[in-house]
Amino acid sequence: MFKGSKFKKTTLFVTTVSLLTLAIAFGVQRRCAAQGGGNDYQSIELFTDVLAIVKKSYVEEVDTKKLVYGAINGMLTSLDPHSSFMPPETYKEMKIDTKGAFGGLGIEITVKEGILTVISPIEDTPAFKAGIKAGDQILKIDDKFTKDLTITDAVKRMRGVKGTKVTLTIMREGFDKTKDFVLERDIIQVKSVKYKVLDDGYGYIRIAQFQEKTDDDLEKALQGLQADKNQLRGLVLDLRNDPGGLLDQAVRVCEHFVPEGKLIVYTEGREKDSQMRFTSRKSHKQGEYPIVVLINSGSASASEIVAGCLQDHKRAVIMGTQSFGKGSVQTIIPLADNSGLRLTTARYFTPSGRSIQAKGITPDIVAERVEIAPTSEKKEGMHIREKDLENHFEGDKKGEQDDKKVKPAPYKTDEMIKNDSQVLRALDLLKGWDILKSMGKLPS
């Protein structure tokens, strides 16, 4: 854990109501209404008057708690898309979510320009398999229009019993009209970290979300890539469609690659506890091998912290497309009746002082993902070479042997990676770095 009283409450970078979070309880101080002046007192008096009128005169009897919950939720949603009120059931689910297992469709959502919008689908979930993409606008959930729905209400409608179905009406850039996607609910098991060897000496690590054990899982992945004393020559760190998660895990991920004492991220807010600075601590550090970080429009919050930190310290090349741009900090505050308050309390900044809010991280190398068509033997056969010409003469046998030695090997990774243009471009960049270094063109 981090040192100091700042960590008596867990500060989270939350992108949606279903984002993985963990709260450490702390007291909520009551402030006197009159402290803010007569206007505050009059506003509270107005609220109690309306509450009394509704209780007395509404056509049907209304539960007081329902009215209060509705008023609190309305108050918070009027602030920004990420502040919200969580009734006891929702708050309980939120605490379960941070463990990496929860029910639903596997979609991270937000409200963008008044429209319910997908930040990213979570890998290997119903949403991901159905083809839901970052930036999709959800216009209807079953037969209910989402225009007047809060994020909390939208999540409630998408969650349900495993095996049941829900229809999402989607509008996407490039669509002529809306399209219905029928998804079957499932128990979402989110694996935070995956890794594999791309080619000899080149590793690939994918962080899907920042959960409680992300740092531990990353450590195991790095050890796995360097098993049997293999030396990493380069690493592709994939943060695409990573919607964020726990702040402390983002910081710890950076600590693997950033020298001790270097600033990782800092936050600024009105209260003292919202003004924090996180620096890299003494721990096991990785070697100085080159790193390429992949991001896209689905990379948000904690993943933007990691990308921004490594970019500012010139520890990695950032490749891909502009990230989502969520630079605000949410704090989870437990309330007396087991409900919870998710409140935006600060903004975060990269080590160089950049605010990511509404802008995102700009890649060093812009690389759109494109579909790679399988190699066609017919197309290859259209090219004529010297050996195809009539009466060509053969080279010497030694030349043939040398040619076989230098023949480039195909990528040794799996088919999924072979069809991923951004990963392959990142791998080529790492290999190019190695080649230039061997030529003495780059510092060792």
Number of H helices, E strands in the chain: 12, 21
What letter would DSSP give residue 419?
A: T
Residue 197 main-chain phi, psi, to 5 deg: -90, 130
Q: Locate 67 and state its tokens.
A: 């009215």
Contacts of 251 (CB under 8 A, 6+ apart): 2, 264, 265, 278, 305
Sort 53 into a burial class: Cβ within 10 Å, 0-12 / 13-18 / 19+. exposed
User: Given phi > 0 = left and psi -120 to 50 = alpha, else beta, which region is 106?
Assistant: left
Over residues 56-71, the pLDDT tens digits come to 999 999 999 999 999 9
Whole-angstrom Cα distance, residue 399 to residue 409? Answer: 18
Please, what is the average pLDDT of the chain? 83
Q: Are strands 365-366 and 317-320 parallel, antiparallel or unpaired?
A: parallel
Over residues 151-191, the pLDDT tens digits come to 878 888 998 888 999 999 999 999 999 999 999 999 887 78
Other CB atoms closer than 10 Å to residue 396's CB: what's the count?
8
Whole-angstrom Cα distance, residue 121 to residue 170? Answer: 13
What letter would DSSP give residue 420?
A: B
- Sorting pLDDT into bands at 50, 70 and 90, what band is 417? confident
Higher pLDDT, 381 or 352: 352
Q: How many CA atoms lie within 13 A of 327 on its CB side?
A: 22
Over residues 256-300, the pLDDT tens digits come to 999 999 999 999 999 999 999 999 997 778 888 999 999 999 999
| Active-site annotation, residues | 301, 312, 326
> Above 80 in pLDDT, residue 37?
no
Nearest 10 degrees: CA dihedral of 427, 428, 432, 433? -20
Residue 19: its pLDDT value, please? 29
Over residues 210-263, the pLDDT tens digits come to 998 999 999 999 999 988 667 899 999 999 999 998 999 999 999 999 999 999
Q: Are 307 and 320 in contact (CB under 8 A)?
A: no
Average confidence (pLDDT) over 314-332? 95
Contacts of 151 (CB under 8 A, 6+ apart): 16, 17, 81, 84, 109, 110, 111, 116
Contacts of 196 (CB under 8 A, 6+ apart): 203, 204, 413, 414, 417
